[in-house]
Amino acid sequence: MSQLTTKKNQFGTSPVFFTAISTILGAVMFLRFGYAVGNVGLLLTFAIILIGHAVTIPTAMALAEIATNQKVEGGGEYFIISRSFGLVVGATVGVALYVSQAISVAFYVIAFAEAFKPLAAYLAANYDMPSQLEWLLLQKQTVAIPALFLLTAVVLTKGADLGVKMLYIVVAILTFALISFFFGSTEYAAGEGASVVERVSNPDNFFIVFAIIFPAFTGMTAGVGLSGDLKNPSHSIPLGTLAATLGGMVIYVFIAIKLWSSASPAALADTDTLVMSSIAWQGWWVIPLGLAAATISSALGSLMVAPRTLQAIARDSVLPNTRMNGWLSRGTGKRDEPFNSSVITIVIALFFVVMGDIDFVAQIISMFFMLTYGSLCLISFLQHFAADPSYRPTFKSKWYLSLMGALACLGLMFFMNPIYALLALMLMVVMYIVISYYNKDKQNMAVIFQGAIFQLSRQLQVFVQKSEKEQNLNWRPSVVCISEDSFERISAFQLLGWLSKKYGFGTYIHKVEGYLSKKTNEEAQEAQERLIKMAETNDSNVYIDTLVSPSYTSAIAQVVQLPGISGKENNALMFEFSKQAPQNIEAIIDNFKLIRSVDFDVLILASSEKGFGFKHAIHIWMTSNDYENANLMILLAYIILGHSEWSNGMIKIFALHPEESLEEERERLFELTRSGRLPISSKNIELIPRKTDVDAKTIVNEKSTDADLTIIGFRAELLKQKGVQIFEGYDGIGNVLFVNSAEEKKIS
């Protein structure tokens, strides 16, 4: 058994809380919170706190909710995202999360070095030393780089166990520093003070200040990274995370008030001085000590969490290289410490430490954390909307809070820095494409919205069903096609795709001959998979299913009772037969009465070897006995022309009438075109006198020999008399669609 499965998970809720609160009340609080108050004033500092927590509180609640629905294992936030969104999306967000955590190590180490600035300045002022040594002493990297390596040694040799024990000491120092700060006093505090909106002249932009300050609030998820080391993650994560988030928000409000009342905006905005040390009691040593403790603990927390995130990603085998996955996933010792992932994390952190610009690093971190938090909020929102019965968290957030958090993250990214936001999103897209390419067998983007789309579809179908029945004026096709020759002839499949692409709905049923059994069921499933691939290739909107049935009669009886995929009842049934081998036409005719018992329109496609040709000309044939079918034939022709494959197509109507009624029919048709009720040019209407000594089929074969689709109506009464003969005798033309309308359709 692997070390991963046998290691002892021993931590409770307190490490989650202390890891989060020590990260929240960390570097930014000591180094840049005064800068915020000085640049935007007290009132807008409150706004920064509120806006920041409008992101972090919904995220904390979403995180708590998701964590109480599933067993949270190693990888923290990555585990939650990947098990909710699928491994491809999870890895994409997870890599961004990991990078932000790794950069956070550098951020906190640079901030740790800031704690030694007063000491460095004191030594430079009071001791005579070479200029090169003095310059070196004043550089942040002089302290930051050794601190990073020392921290690395602690984590790699002692692991998370020692790190968690150190948290208690750090929190004690941090608490003492805050008490010292709140009990401190200044001469400025004894005066009148500034107004709540007063700030320095030429202040930094509000959203630049927000981007620099936002990492102060991001520590609330730090404890989640310990998920693999917790006794009861579903209890400890919600309790510890929410307590740290809400507690941190309250403390920041009081810190802002204390800063505003204790120093001028100019003094607060000066980033070269540690303003809190001039306010706190014994601040000259307490505040640097608190800063050192808070930053080193935050760095320690990030250094514990980041490698575990990378290790979890690698263990899901989603990175492009197999050897890379194996190397990064390897753990050492009884507690399965992620040694190799820690090495990579240190290299990334070292790169940003060498840069040394804490404000730049803060803005980069903010972008990646916004992406991660937005993803967590989106998961929670979609899970609420999807109403998945397997989603039963013991802690429940509100869907509108999750939606607000997701939208706030996206909006704030662009407000903070549009260029960084675009680059971050582009990087995410590139990572998704690369990871998808190497993980084609794993769940991708579709899994995110699957439940939500299902729920939306269900609600729409219920709504449509409850609404009033469509009148003929609003008729649109909802066609079901039954065929057992799907892989011999595709004409019916093509036609159904054209009818359902834009204006209607189509369901294609492949009939498997026989009784339901394991063998026929497997055959049906294989056929469905093949047809779905065909539909994807042809960009078809057809819904595909299969049906095992011993006869056409039983198949039709089942199909006509199917609910429509659109939420409204199906209204048309399509069949297909081959002109060259019309074996199934008899079965279609025998069941015509059954079909008409439910008032379905009937479409019968006679397929030829010619197929649909160049998809240019549709011919419609009307007779004096065809009034009920005429409008349906015209509507079907126009729906087919609405498809891009028929973009160069045209409709031509042939009216075949006895000579004595020809002029009357001419006036009727031309009046329909003039009034716009028949949406076709009069030049595309040809009236043909019907002579008793000439067979109508001969005329059709002559006039429509070059048509790509010919539409002909037929009546139920004539079908009883002539049967198969109705569909025979059209060998001189291509595909023919025979149409029987259950009732006359209206063309407005």
Residue 1: exposure state from Cβ atoms within 10 A (0-12, 13-18, ≥19):
exposed
Q: Which two tokens stand for residue 161?
A: 């166990």
Other beta carbons less than 10 A from residue 699's beta carbon: 17
615 & 581 share domain: no
246 & 201 share domain: yes
Mean of pLDDT values over 383-399? 71
Other beta carbons less than 10 A from residue 102's beta carbon: 27
State the Rg of the chain over Cα. Answer: 37
- Residues 306-345 pLDDT 10s: 888 888 888 888 888 888 888 888 877 776 778 888 889 9
Q: Cβ distance 245 to 53 under 8 Å?
A: yes
Dihedral angle computed from the Cα positions of residues 191, 192, 195 and 199, in that order, rounded to the nearest 10 degrees: -40
pLDDT at 391 over 70: no
Q: What is the DSSP letter of 230?
A: B
227 & 256 share domain: yes
Q: What is the Cα–Cα distance from 103 to 95, expressed in whole angstroms? A: 12
In a domain, 679, yes or no: yes
The pLDDT assigned to 441 comes to 62
User: Which is higher by pLDDT, 478 or 45?
Assistant: 45
Out of 373-382, 528-537, 546-555, the most confident range is 546-555
pLDDT at 394 over 60: yes
Closest CA to 109 of 63, 150, 163: 150
User: 428-432, 491-495, 576-580: which has the minimum mean pLDDT?
Assistant: 428-432
- Bridge partner residues of 619 (DSSP): 652, 710
Mean of pLDDT values over 88-95? 83
Which range marks the domain in which residue 533 is found?
476-604
Q: What is the Cα–Cα distance from 710 to 652, expressed in whole angstroms? A: 10
The pLDDT assigned to 484 comes to 87
User: Which of helix, strand or coil describes residue 471?
Assistant: coil
pLDDT at 742 over 90: no
pLDDT at 3 over 60: no
pTM value > 0.75: no
Of 569, 604, 639, the one marking the end of a domain is 604
Other beta carbons less than 10 A from residue 492's beta carbon: 24
314 & 367 share domain: yes
φ, ψ at 601 (rounded to 5°): -70, 150
- Residues 675-697 pLDDT 10s: 656 667 778 888 888 777 778 88
pLDDT at 4 over 50: no
**How do 601-607 and 736-740 pair as beta strands?**
antiparallel
Q: Which two tokens stand for residue 628?
A: 């009920």
Q: Which two tokens stand for residue 632?
A: 């349906």
Q: Cβ distance 20 to 60 under 8 Å?
A: no
The pLDDT assigned to 51 comes to 92
Out of 72-86, 561-575, 620-634, 674-688, the most confident range is 620-634
The pLDDT assigned to 13 comes to 77
Out of 4-8, 77-81, 133-137, the most confident range is 77-81
193: left (phi over 0), alpha (psi -120 to 50) or beta: left
Closest CA to 589 of 445, 726, 474: 726
In a domain, 508, yes or no: yes
pLDDT at 208 over 60: yes
CATH number of the structural domain spanning residue 585: 3.40.50.620
How far is residue 729 from each of residues 430, 592, 602, measured CA to CA in Å? 59, 21, 20
Alpha helices by DSSP H, listed for 510-551, are: 518-537
526 & 413 share domain: no
Of 582, 604, 626, the one marking the end of a domain is 604
- Residues 230-263 pLDDT 10s: 677 767 778 888 888 899 899 999 999 999 989 8
The pLDDT assigned to 255 comes to 93
The pLDDT assigned to 47 comes to 94
- If you search the block for the tokens 């030829």, which residue do you land on? 608
The pLDDT assigned to 709 comes to 94
198 & 296 share domain: yes
169 & 217 share domain: yes
The mean pLDDT of the chain is 81
In a domain, 723, yes or no: yes
Mean of pLDDT values over 504-521? 89
In a domain, 682, yes or no: yes
Q: What is the DSSP letter of 272?
A: T
- If you search the block for the tokens 């730049």, which residue do you land on? 360
588 & 615 share domain: no
The pLDDT assigned to 446 comes to 57
The pLDDT assigned to 471 comes to 47
Element (H, E) at 686: strand 685-690
Q: Cβ distance 416 to 367 under 8 Å?
A: yes
Of 398, 424, 446, the one marking the end of a domain is 446
pLDDT at 86 over 80: no
Q: What is the Cα–Cα distance from 690 to 695, expressed in whole angstroms? A: 9
- Residues 155-198 pLDDT 10s: 777 655 555 566 678 788 888 999 999 999 888 876 666 688 88
Other beta carbons less than 10 A from residue 657's beta carbon: 20
Q: How many domains does the chain have?
A: 3
pLDDT at 523 over 60: yes
pLDDT band at 222 (very low <50, low <70, confident <90, very high): low
The pLDDT assigned to 581 comes to 81
The pLDDT assigned to 437 comes to 81
555 & 573 share domain: yes
User: Which is higher by pLDDT, 737 or 321?
Assistant: 737
Q: Cβ distance 67 to 233 under 8 Å?
A: yes
Q: What is the Cα–Cα distance from 542 to 128, expressed in whole angstroms? A: 84
In a domain, 468, yes or no: no
In a domain, 460, yes or no: no
584 & 481 share domain: yes
User: 45-59, 214-228, 585-599, 708-722: which has the minimum mean pLDDT?
Assistant: 214-228
Q: What is the Cα–Cα distance from 386 to 379, expressed in whole angstroms? A: 10
- Bridge partner residues of 225 (DSSP): none
Q: Could you tell me the maximum CA-CA distance found in the chain, to the nearest angstrom?
A: 125
667 & 593 share domain: no
The pLDDT assigned to 250 comes to 93
577 & 627 share domain: no
pLDDT at 469 over 60: no
Q: Cβ distance 256 to 133 under 8 Å?
A: no
In a domain, 101, yes or no: yes
**What single letter denotes the amino acid at residue 108?**
Y
User: 79-93, 266-280, 545-559: which has the minimum mean pLDDT?
Assistant: 79-93
In a domain, 467, yes or no: no
Mean of pLDDT values over 606-619? 89
CATH number of the structural domain spanning residue 169: 1.20.1740.10
Question: What is the percentage of the chain residues whose pLDDT exceeds 70?
Answer: 83
The pLDDT assigned to 670 comes to 77
- Residues 641-675 pLDDT 10s: 888 888 888 889 888 888 777 777 777 777 767 66
How far is residue 612 from each of residues 472, 494, 707, measured CA to CA in Å? 29, 9, 9
pLDDT band at 2 (very low <50, low <70, confident <90, very high): very low
